[in-house]
Structure 1
Amino acid sequence: ILTLDRDERKMSLGIKQLSQDPWTDITSKYPVGSKHTGIVRNFTNFGIFVELEEGIDGLVYISDLSWTKKIKHPSEFVNVGDKLDVVVLELDVEGRKLSLGHKQTTENPWDKHEAAYGVGTVHSGTIAEIVDKGATVDFGDDVVAFIPARHLEKEDGKKLKKGESAEFKVIEFNKEFKRVVASHTAIFREEEEKNVKAVESASSNNAPASTLGDNNDILAELKAKMEKGEK
């Protein structure tokens, strides 16, 4: 019996009060960072509700389902009734809210990608798609790199097309946004810069006048080629 009104001859009753409130010892049972297995109970457009026990539900935002997959709706990832491993990310006792994450139960692969696909590393790949302002290349390991249009240029002045394979140099890596930007043009442009430095070094030595003239011609030709490519 919760309330009793003798004048109105009314009373209100409760069933849940017969058992202990599961939120009473929530901080000891589900501390932040702890891992648990729950059951998927419901979907929303922004995540899923997972029941850890009767009376204790937590929300897994769609961004916390996978490290690598781009999920538009939770139904693409799990079904209602499925068991799901989760980690407690946040706990609001007063608001009776639990924030859970599924991807946090596994290691972030982008921690390893940072070393394997860091700036300056070179990889072989095939142009997968031509997109707005550039193209994409699948390097494997769920790493898809973006190639800006001007970095698709080949040594002959033409641009790489869909299906063409080549080497690419990573020029930007962002683990937080899972973004890799690479360049094919940088591969041969770097070689041209080395050739220019080699010719300049040779020209600075006490070389015969005829050799010096030849070197200057080569240097001028290389610089003109590089300037044309940059434009």
Structure 2
Amino acid sequence: MGDFREGEIVHAKVLRVTDSMVILEFGFKSEGAVPLDEFKDRDGIEPGQEVEVLLESLEDDDGIVVLSKKKADFLRVWEKIREAHEADEPVEGMLARKIKGGVTVDIMGVDAFLPGSQIALRRVPNIDDLLGQTFEFKIIKLNKRRRNIVVSRRVILEGERERKRETLVKELLVGQV
């Protein structure tokens, strides 16, 4: 039996699936349970399957180990987003819905905010036409504590425009000599 700390992601094995819960074993003295609705593929959960879950509490008031698949998934995605931000790499996301001041972008299942001014190089007449489409975005602001991600498509488009301009200038210079 290993040392377990609340707040860490643990590997667990599915023991059984009930109508509402997935019962898991992860090497602790007692089993843990995760609500079935935290699993995206509910029908694909089989006994013996390995899953990653967040150990929320070693024992709640009823002496039950509290685990969360949803929170473990969120932390894994958040880590990928943080790594992309630190490496200054673009992330792919889908324009999900229009909100005040911009659009919500779905990045690997996590919501990010795309300000209206960062959607394109020029003002977009009808944002609804872009909803459901997938684009690359640059993460311009990240705050884990507030679960706040701000992205820009405009920065990506400006970079592409600048690269095209540089290529064109080089071709013109070569052609003139």
Q: Which structure exhibits the higher relative contact order, with contacts defined as CA atoms closer than 8 Å and separated by 6 or more residues?
A: 2
